C-alpha cells in the first residue's frame, strides 16, 4: 500500500480551544478512506487543516512525500487537491452552466458531469440556488468530475438527501476511487461510506476511536452511536 497522505500528531483548533488532539492518519493512494464520527467530532476541522483553510498547531502532514505545511491552499488545489465542503461550495446566484464553467476553469470538457447527472444537463440555465438539495449536491460533485483531482476530500455529501440520490452520489465516488482517485470521505456511521471504504477512521472528540478495515467495525459499539455496527 502506497501512502498518499500521512498525518502525524495533528493538533488544531479555534481560538483558545483545541479540537484535534494529536491525530495519526495514513490515507492510502488510489483507495477510499472513510472518516466517520458523531457531530462535533472534528471531521470538518480535519479536512480544513488538510486543505490549508485552518492552520496546523502541531504535527506533520506529508502529501506524496512533500511537506504539506509548506504549500498554500491554492498551491494544494493546483497540485490536485479538491475539497467539496459541507455546504457544497457552489455559487447559488449563478446558473448551473456558469457554475460548471467555473469548476472546469476553461480547460476540460463538461461531458462527464452531464452524463453522470443528466438532470443537471437539462437545467443549465437554472439558478443553482433554486435547485433541489440533491441537485445542488450533484452540481457540487460535478466539480469533481470536470477537475479530476488526485486527492479528493468530501465532507458529508449525503447529508439530508433522499437515499436514492445519496446512492447515486456514492456510486460516482466509488467509481472515482476505482479509477485511481484517492478519496477521503467524511460521513455518518451508517451509510454507504462504510460499504465503499477500503480503510476506516472513526473520530470522537478530536481523537481516534478506531482505525482499520470496515469489516473490523462489525459488532463494535462506537462513541456517539446508539447500537452496534451491523455487517454491511
Ligand X SMILES: Nc1ncnc2c1ncn2[C@@H]1O[C@H](COP(=O)(O)OP(=O)(O)OP(=O)(O)O)[C@@H](O)[C@H]1O
Binding footprint of ligand X on the chain (CB under 6 A): 14, 19, 37, 39-45, 86
Q: Using CB under 5 A, which of 44, 136, 142, 181 touches Mg ion?
A: 44
Cβ distance to ligand X smaller for residue 88 or 147: 88
Nearer to ligand X, 46 or 110 (CB): 46
Least Å distance, CB 111 to Mg ion, is 32
CB of 36 to ligand X, least distance (A): 9
Closest distance to ligand X from the beta carbon of 97 (Å): 30
Cα distance between residue 21 and residue 94, in whole Å:
40
| 191 forms part of the interface with Mg ion (CB under 5 A) | no
Number of residues near Mg ion (by CB under 5 A): 2
Residue with nearest beta carbon to Mg ion: 44
List beta partners, residue 82: 152
Residue 24 Cβ, how far from Mg ion at the closest point, in Å?
20
Burial of 70 (0-12, 13-18, 19+ CB in 10 A): exposed
Q: How far is the CB of 137 from Mg ion (least distance, A)?
A: 15
In degrees, to the nearest 5, what angle opens at C-alpha 176 toward C-alphas 172 and 182? 135
Least distance (Å) between residue 155 CB and Mg ion:
6
Residues 6+ apart with CB under 8 A from 50: 5, 7, 61, 68, 81, 83, 153, 184
Among 38, 39, 40, 45, smallest CA distance to 7 is for 45
Q: Which of 179, 177, 132 has the alpha carbon at shortest distance from 154?
A: 177
Nearest to Mg ion of 43, 123 (CB atom): 43
CA angle 223, 26, 142 (to 5 degrees): 85
C-beta of 20 vs 100, nearer to Mg ion? 20
**Nearer residue to ligand X within complex by CB, 39 or 125:** 39
Nearest to 157 by CA among 130, 177, 178, 185: 185
| Contact indicator for 96, 126 with CB cutoff of 8 Å | yes
Which segment (37-45, 57-65, 134-142, 161-169) binds Mg ion by CB under 5 A? 37-45
Of 43 and 76, which CB lies nearer to Mg ion in the complex structure?
Answer: 43
What residues line the site for Mg ion (CB under 5 A)? Answer: 43-44
Amino acid at each position: 500500500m502506497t501512502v498518499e497522505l500521512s498525518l502525524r500528531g495533528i493538533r488544531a483548533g479555534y481560538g483558545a480551544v483545541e479540537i484535534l488532539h494529536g491525530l495519526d492518519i495514513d490515507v492510502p493512494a488510489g483507495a477510499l478512506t472513510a472518516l466517520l464520527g458523531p457531530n462535533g467530532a472534528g471531521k470538518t476541522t480535519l479536512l480544513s487543516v488538510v486543505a490549508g483553510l485552518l492552520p496546523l498547531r502541531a504535527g506533520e502532514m506529508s502529501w506524496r512525500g512533500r511537506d504539506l505545511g509548506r504549500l498554500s491552499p491554492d498551491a494544494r488545489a493546483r497540485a490536485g487537491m479538491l475539497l467539496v465542503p459541507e455546504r457544497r461550495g457552489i455559487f447559488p446566484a449563478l446558473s448551473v452552466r456558469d457554475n460548471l464553467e467555473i469548476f472546469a476553469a476553461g480547460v476540460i470538457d463538461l461531458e462527464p458531469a452531464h452524463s453522470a447527472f443528466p438532470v443537471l444537463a437539462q437545467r443549465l440555465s437554472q439558478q443553482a440556488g433554486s435547485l433541489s438539495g440533491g441537485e445542488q449536491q450533484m452540481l457540487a460533485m460535478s466539480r469533481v468530475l470536470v477537475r479530476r483531482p488526485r486527492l479528493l476530500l468530501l465532507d458529508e455529501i449525503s447529508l439530508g438527501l433522499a437515499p436514492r440520490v445519496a446512492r447515486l452520489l456514492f456510486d460516482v465516488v466509488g467509481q472515482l476511487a476505482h479509477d485511481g482517485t484517492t478519496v477521503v470521505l467524511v460521513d455518518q456511521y451508517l451509510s454507504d461510506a462504510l460499504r465503499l471504504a477500503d480503510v476506516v477512521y472513526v473520530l470522537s472528540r478530536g481523537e481516534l476511536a478506531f482505525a482499520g478495515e470496515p469489516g473490523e467495525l462489525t459488532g463494535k459499539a462506537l462513541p456517539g452511536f446508539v447500537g452496534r455496527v451491523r455487517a454491511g
